Structure 1
Amino acid sequence: MPPRTSLPRRAAKSPTLRKLSVVIAIVLAYQIWLSVQAGGKVGPGVGADRDERGRFPVDVELGFAPERYHILRLQKHGRIAGTDGQVVHLRGVAPAGVDALAREYWIKHIEAPERGS
């Protein structure tokens, strides 16, 4: 009778499990990268001017003119108040919405709007 190999050793030899572990590692690395780069996108003063519901306005800067897809994605987190070139003005954004917006790879920067705008 041949010697029995352990389960971890057999799993390491399985091409399917190796491919699956590579895919899982890539997805985890991408999620970590999104979290790390999201920290530098939110400018100072975002969320300082909250209303009675705890929501606030933000200006979302993209690296390009927004298209329908981007506007629809931004509407999930607040009301669109207009656009100025590559900047989309959102109102009524919750703190969780800012976190979700910052994780979008196509968003360049999130700022508090200037007073009077």
Structure 2
Amino acid sequence: MFNKSRSFIRHPSIWFTCLILVLLLAWQGWAFATMNERITPDLKTALESQKYVNIKVVLPFSPEPFHMEKFHDMGTVIFANENSIMINRVKAKDVWSLAREYWITSIALNHQ
């Protein structure tokens, strides 16, 4: 029986599955570690004291329908141009969720 379990551990699909799990954990760790860099200090302060915030999201590209749909799910999109979107009434948890996305450059408090 010991030899069978050993051959199970050495099976290529087990190693591949372990590799995928390690890569997913590394990706999530990186997203969690870098999300603070994407949120401006004034927005962090506002998130502590307000239930909803108005934000400006900056992207390194023009948003596509997928991105706009995600933004519409989180609040009211009031303006979009080449690489930035202004969204009103966004919950704090949604701001932190957006900050974990690798395709977002920055998220700032919209003062308009």
Please give the TM-score of this superposition, normalised by the length of structure 2. Answer: 0.85
Letter of the 2:101 partner, please give it: E
- Distance (whole Å) between structure 2 residues aligned to residue 76 and residue 68 of structure 1: 12
Which structure has the larger Rg over C-alpha atoms?
1
Match of 2:11 among 7, 14, 32: 14
- Distance (whole Å) between structure 2 residues aligned to residue 6 and residue 85 of structure 1: 58
Corresponding residue for 1:41? 38
Identity %: 23
Q: After TM superposition, which residue ranges in structure 1, 4 or more long, deviate above 6 angstroms?
A: none
Please give the TM-score of this superposition, normalised by the length of structure 1. Answer: 0.81
CA positional deviation for 1:5: 3.7
Q: SS where residue 61 of structure 2 aligns?
A: coil
Letter of the 2:16 partner, please give it: K
1:29 aligns to 2:26 (yes or no): yes
- Distance (whole Å) between structure 1 residues aligned to residue 97 and residue 34 of structure 2: 12
1:86 aligns to 2:83 (yes or no): yes
Q: Which runs of 5+ in 2 are unaligned?
A: none
CA positional deviation for 1:6: 7.8
Match of 1:75 among 72, 77, 90: 72
Letter of the 1:101 partner, please give it: L
Corresponding residue for 2:101? 104
Name the structure where helix makes up a greater proportion of residues: 2
CA positional deviation for 1:20: 1.0
Give the total of aligned pairs. 110
Alpha-carbon RMSD = 2.1
- Distance (whole Å) between structure 1 residues aligned to residue 29 and residue 103 of structure 2: 16
Letter of the 1:89 partner, please give it: M
